[in-house]
A and B are shown apart, each in its own frame.
Chain A
Amino acid sequence: MEITGAEIFVRCLEDEGVDCLFGYPGGAVLHIYDALYRQDKVKHFLVRHEQAATHAADGYARATGKPGVVLVTSGPGATNAVTGIATAHLDSIPLVVFTGQVPTSLIGNDAFQEVDSVGITRPCVKHNFLVKDIKDLATTIKKAFYVATTGRPGPVVVDIPKDVTAQRAEYHYPAEVSLRSYNPVVKGHIGQIRRAVKLMAQAKRPMLYTGGGVVLDNASEELTELTRLLNFPITETLMGLGAYPATDKQFVGMLGMHGTYEANLGMHNCDVLVAIGARFDDRVTGNIEKFCPTAKIIHIDIDPASISKNVKVDVPIVGSVRAVLKDMLKLVRGSSFKTDEAALAEWWKQIEEWRSMDCLKYDSSGPVIKPQMVVEKLYQVTNGEAFVTSDVGQHQMWAAQYYKFDQPRRWINSGGLGTMGFGMPAAMGVQLAYPDATVACITGEGSIQMNIQELSTLKQYGLPIKVITLNNGYLGMVRQWQEFFYDKRYAMSYMESLPDFVKLAESYGHAGIRVEKPSDVEGALKEAMSVRDRVVFMDFITDKEENVYPMIPAGAGQNEMILV
């Protein structure tokens, strides 16, 4: 039986196991919305702005490991989605974004709500498709999910002209699909893995440096076992937090621009660096000339293009992190493998000395709320088990530094693109995936206003996320850089005319709490966490000019940290 393109679209999602779809209707996707209306298997969540649809799908994907799915209309629907697509692209998050398009007969005519969506998104997707023929629709959708979720994951855009959704064809969803030009590697080269393990056995001052790739590949268990067997110190990137339990003594904290003293000095002084699913981002390496000057570098990554891109490595291993770690574990468990225990003991002594600097300590005795303290209290009140999303800026760094993630997929933030406005929509996606979990969005009064309209979506679907606003009245990270590098000329970093967030939240039907005294922080958080039927918007009035420390200024080496 022939069915319409719109019906084929819905059947494809159903057969792909998509249970939720984030989107916003419009002219070019009306046939699809009509088909969605006439079924109940694929649930659609209506956002208030297409950017939020992509972030919500992104949050859903990061928390569950399943691809996030988005449906938007042509023209502005597609362009509004671009920021979210680019966000997912830089963090390698599997998304499939469907954009409506004007009918094929009008493409290129500057038709109403027409943009070249495939052209606009090309540089910020893993791949994209324009479906010109109804006969290709189902196969293209299958390909989109396949490409998005395999290899190094990423967003895929499928642009569907309106007439294609009206045409009729037989429905057949292929069980499998292959592309002759796309064959991601899984297994690592065993010879390279042996070389790496040998180097690790000889190491006197080793460091494990792990990134988002471990989380994406669900390799936490393997990473944890390997790290413990080796007794090496481990540091994680912003994207990698939670892959190894942060409360474990072998974890030396996050590294990079706002990493810990012990992590960055460990990196600077190590003799063997094992990079696992991490990409030597500039926020991690600092000045590339001064990066890990004495280290032999092993790099495990699924993407060959990540290897030796920024830093030349000695032992490259292309493969899925999980598969490679499994192979490494076999070798490390073998009787012939031995680390240099005496050297390791010395190395740990050195690391403990650095750790005793207690670089994250702060003075909370004053009358104003320290932002770090809010995060610490949130950690305590939620027993470290919440899903925490964040926006971008100082609050993001404090969340990463002070919330100790013991599990992967609990820390959800825009690391690569640094997208303000990410946190609240991402939290929506997480809460939808896990309705009973505690989901907190740590944000600032600047970031939250970049997608604050989603308070309405949260109301519509009864998603009880907790918004933790660290309100210092400044675009804090901008202000911090202006303080350090622009002689305190605070150009446009001050937020005037802030709304009354409590009243704003209440106007949407949510609860709002303003907290101004340090002694009220814990109680307010406890109260907020007990509310299960609505959003609690918490406005913490914090120290206005608190800075994020430690800090490696741009262009400096890892051993050139500003501590206080």
Chain B
Amino acid sequence: MENEAGALSRVAGLFSARGYNIESLTVAPTIDPSLSRMTLVTSGTEQIIEQITKQLNKLVDIVRLQDMTEGEHLERELMLVKLRVSNHQEREEVKRFADIFRGRIIDVSDLSYTLELTGSSSKLDAFVGNLGNIQVMELVRSGVIGIARGDKILNL
């Protein structure tokens, strides 16, 4: 989409005005600074997805649109999570979890570890679901970004 003020709110406004669901939405400039790339995760029946696609294509700021789920694709999400670790045992447990889920501890304090994890949304869900007694102090997720597998690209 055009990297212009208001482009994002056109998309967000379309979803709220027509009652569509946004599960996550990420947007950032691309290699071409005049363009931004947005990855939006939504859900609905086939007919709703078709309407969403058409309505988005109608927005003047949208340059190209691709339904990633129509082909093989990769998706990743980044999570930063601050966990309370008040004793040695909890620190060890968190380090072990981080290893298992290929996360990294990127900040520490007397009371907390802050972890970075990337992966599919379900992997991040699984991590959070397995924390057991470890208390989550704060959690922030980036929303999903996606790219097609193989040589296929989203070109203009």
Contacts and interface: CB of A to CB of B under 8 A. Distances in A.
B9 interface: yes
A312 interface: yes
A181 B60 CA distance: 6
B47 A304 contact: no
Given A122-B6, A122-B13, A123-B17, A182 B60 contact: yes
A414 B17 CA distance: 21
B58 A122 contact: no
A147 B60 contact: yes
Interface in B1-15: 1-2, 5-6, 9-10, 13
A127 B60 contact: yes
A180 B6 contact: no
A308 interface: yes
A304 B54 contact: yes
A179 B9 CA distance: 19
A147 B60 CA distance: 9
B63 A180 contact: yes
Contacts of B2: 181
B85 interface: no
Contact of B5 (A127, A130, A181, A305): A130
Contact of A305 (B10, B13, B55): B55
Interface in B42-92: 47, 50-51, 54-55, 57-58, 60-63
Nearest to A303: B58
B100 interface: no
Nearest to B16: A123
Contacts of A122: 6, 9-10, 13
A309 interface: yes
B78 to A, nearest CB: 28
Interface centre among A128, A147, A179, A181 (most CB of B within 10 A): A181
A182 to B, nearest CB: 5
Interface string A157-184: 0000000000000000000000111100
B5 to A, nearest CB: 7
Interface in B94-135: none
Interface centre among B5, B17, B51, B58 (most CB of A within 10 A): B58
Interface string A292-336: 000000000001110111001000000000000000000000000
Given A182-B60, A312-B47, A123 B54 contact: no
Contacts of B17: 123
A499 interface: no
Contacts of B5: 130
A307 to B, nearest CB: 8
Interface of B is mostly: helix
B156 interface: yes
Nearest to A126: B60
Interface of A is mostly: mixed
Interface in A90-105: none
Contacts of A181: 1-2, 60-63
A312 B63 CA distance: 27
Interface string B1-37: 1100110011001000100000000000000000000
B33 to A, nearest CB: 15
B13 A123 contact: yes
A119 interface: yes
A515 B58 CA distance: 50
Contacts of A360: none
Given A119-B9, A122-B13, A181-B2, A305 B58 contact: yes
A417 interface: no
B94 to A, nearest CB: 43
A220 to B, nearest CB: 26
Contacts of A344: none
Contacts of B63: 180-181
B154 to A, nearest CB: 14
B61 to A, nearest CB: 6
A182 B156 CA distance: 12
A128 B61 CA distance: 10
Interface in A113-167: 118-119, 122-123, 126-128, 130, 147
A122 B16 CA distance: 12
Nearest to A122: B13
Interface string A504-536: 000000000000000000000000000000000
Given A179-B60, A304-B57, A308-B47, A118 B6 contact: yes
B12 to A, nearest CB: 10
A399 to B, nearest CB: 31
A400 B152 CA distance: 54
A305 B62 contact: no
Contacts of B6: 118, 122, 128, 130
Contacts of A182: 60
Contacts of A119: 9
Nearest to A304: B54
Contacts of A304: 54, 57-58
A128 B10 CA distance: 10
A158 to B, nearest CB: 13
A304 B59 CA distance: 12
Given A123-B17, A309-B51, A180 B10 contact: no
23 contacts: A118-B6, A119-B9, A122-B6, A122-B9, A122-B10, A122-B13, A123-B13, A126-B60, A130-B5, A130-B6, A179-B60, A180-B63, A180-B156, A181-B2, A181-B61, A181-B63, A303-B58, A305-B51, A305-B54, A305-B55, A305-B58, A308-B47, A308-B50
Task: Give the top 9 A-B pairs by smallest Cβ distance, nearest first.
Answer: A305-B54, A181-B63, A127-B60, A182-B60, A304-B54, A123-B17, A305-B55, A305-B58, A122-B13
Interface of B: 1-2, 5-6, 9-10, 13, 17, 47, 50-51, 54-55, 57-58, 60-63, 156
Given A123-B17, A308-B50, 9 more contacts: A118-B6, A122-B6, A123-B13, A180-B63, A181-B62, A305-B55, A308-B47, A309-B51, A309-B54
